Amino acid sequence: MANGESGSVENMRTQMDRAREYAEVDENVFTRMQHPERTLKVSVPVLMDDGEERVFEGYRCQFDGGRGPYKGGVRYHPSVTMDEVTALAGWMSWKNALVDLPYGGAKGGVSCDPKELSRDELKRLTRRYTEGIRRMIGPQIDIPAPDMNTNPQVMAWMMDTYSVYEGYTVPQVVTGKPVEIGGTPGRVEATGRGVSIVTEQLFEHLDEAIDDATVAIQGFGNVGAWAARLLARRGANVVAASDVSGGLYDPDGLDVIGLAEYVEEGGDLAEYGDPDATEIANDALLALDVDVVIPAAIANVITTEVAENLEAGVVVEAANGPTTPGADDVLAERDIPVVPDILANAGGVTVSYLEWVQNTQEYAWTLEQVNAELERRLVSAFDETVETYTDRGIPDLRTAAYAIAIDRCGRAHSYRGLFP
């Protein structure tokens, strides 16, 4: 595929290559870091409610383990493929290094459409997938977490399945659990909170005020809806939002709290029926003349063509991999800053780390402690990224963030050496 509009793994390697010249990394180590350490593909047979057995495909990829146990979410979506899971695992590796968590990177997923599954089918699918990847995960080995279409309930089923095999309760094998079984306060909203924190930091850096800044958000699930609520709390005006069914646009601002509650109850945005809002398609939302556009759904939505027509002042990547390398070039040329996914959506894994620490210490923190630690870590990663971007004369924030991550992972591999 031309113009950088290619497969997700290829995009991730291009992003790494661009940072290579600004990083201080041994050439052999860098080559090693471009390859996933291992990927497991599992068949997931599920007994459907009508008595039929269906076989789904599931994956778990452990990309880079130089800095510690592997960590990354599990996604249920029809787009899940080995290529997508591998790229997501790579992005997790660089994200964890950028925010300086003692983790490597992993990702998993099952190719399915959860909207078509009953709760019981979803539970059986989750338990069988967990059994399939059980050989690969563990509290000191690889710790899954929620991602698209997975939530605290799914994490509870994963934790239970793993624990049944171990013969005792192992809360720290997954993060993003319900608080009642070892989850942490603040995890559900952590990724959206992180998005709002870095957006505010970017505005401060640009010497602009977030108050009344107009925002358009593509994807109104966990991350998009929480980012909307928390940005609105910081004074921003969310004028457009969309989900897979379609979107809504009101230049005077949407009722994000009402919308979020409606979506949490299972509603589709296209059927919300806001008399003040007009319908807007997902691609038209990305072309709105707003201060901030936030892709918070799937990968590769900001293509070269979309980037050429983008009217927003800045892009904050809540989703993983929403911008292709070709689009990155266009946006850099047009001087439109992009806060890269590995920084913008790192709030989720940061609070997952805090959950794992609490589980390991068997000691629970308050919401205030969790939020303060999240903010401290993200502001520090943001400052470091901007400093690296400025000091090393790097063309864009993504390349700066990658340079930091590659330096850190590279140093870990150099100290540990190559086995045997």
Report the residue from 86, 175, 214, 320 that binds ligand NAD according to the rule CB under 6 A: 320
Element (H, E) at 239: strand 237-243
Residues that contact ligand NAD, how many (by CB under 6 A): 24
Q: Which is nearer to ligand NAD, 79 or 163 (CB)?
A: 79
**Which of the stretches 54-62, 121-129, 292-300, 409-417 binds ligand NAD when contact is defined by CB under 6 A?**
292-300
Instruction: Provide CB contacts within 8 A for 202, sequence distance 6+.
Output: 314, 316, 337, 339, 382
Smallest separation (angstroms) from ligand NAD to the CB of 73: 6
Shortest CA distance to 290 belongs to which of 221, 224, 241, 339?
241
Nearer to ligand NAD (CB atom), residue 196 or residue 222: 222
Q: How far is the CB of 89 from ligand NAD (least distance, A)?
A: 12
107 is catalytic: yes
**Residue 399 in the binding site for ligand NAD (CB under 6 A):** no
Q: Which residue is nearest to ligand NAD (CB)?
A: 221
Report if residue 243 touches ligand NAD, rule: CB under 6 A: yes
Name the segment binding ligand NAD (CB under 6 A); options: 44-52, 153-161, 312-320, 329-337. Answer: 312-320
Query: In the range 321-350, which residues lie near ligand NAD by CB under 6 A?
Result: 345, 348
Restricted to residues 87-146, the positions that interact with ligand NAD (CB under 6 A) are 146
Q: Any contact of residue 223 with ligand NAD (CB under 6 A)?
A: yes
Which position among 47, 164, 179, 244 is part of the footprint of ligand NAD (CB under 6 A)?
A: 244
Residue (of 350, 343, 347, 345) closest to 397 by Cα position: 343
Distance CA 22, CA 404 (A): 9
Q: Is the peptide bond before 420 cis (omega within 30 degrees of 0)?
A: yes
71, 107, 123, 177: which one is catalytic? 107
Q: Binder to ligand NAD among 16, 80, 148, 378 (CB under 6 A)?
A: 148
Minimum CB distance to ligand NAD, residue 297 (Å): 3
Q: Among residue numbers 185 through 214, which ones bind ligand NAD (CB under 6 A)?
A: 191
- CB-wise, 39 or 149, nearer to ligand NAD? 149
Q: Tell me, what amino acid is at 41?
A: K
CB of 102: closest distance to ligand NAD in angstroms? 18
Give contact residues for ligand NAD (rule: CB under 6 A). Answer: 146-149, 191, 218-224, 242-244, 282, 296-298, 318-320, 345, 348
Active site amino acids: 107
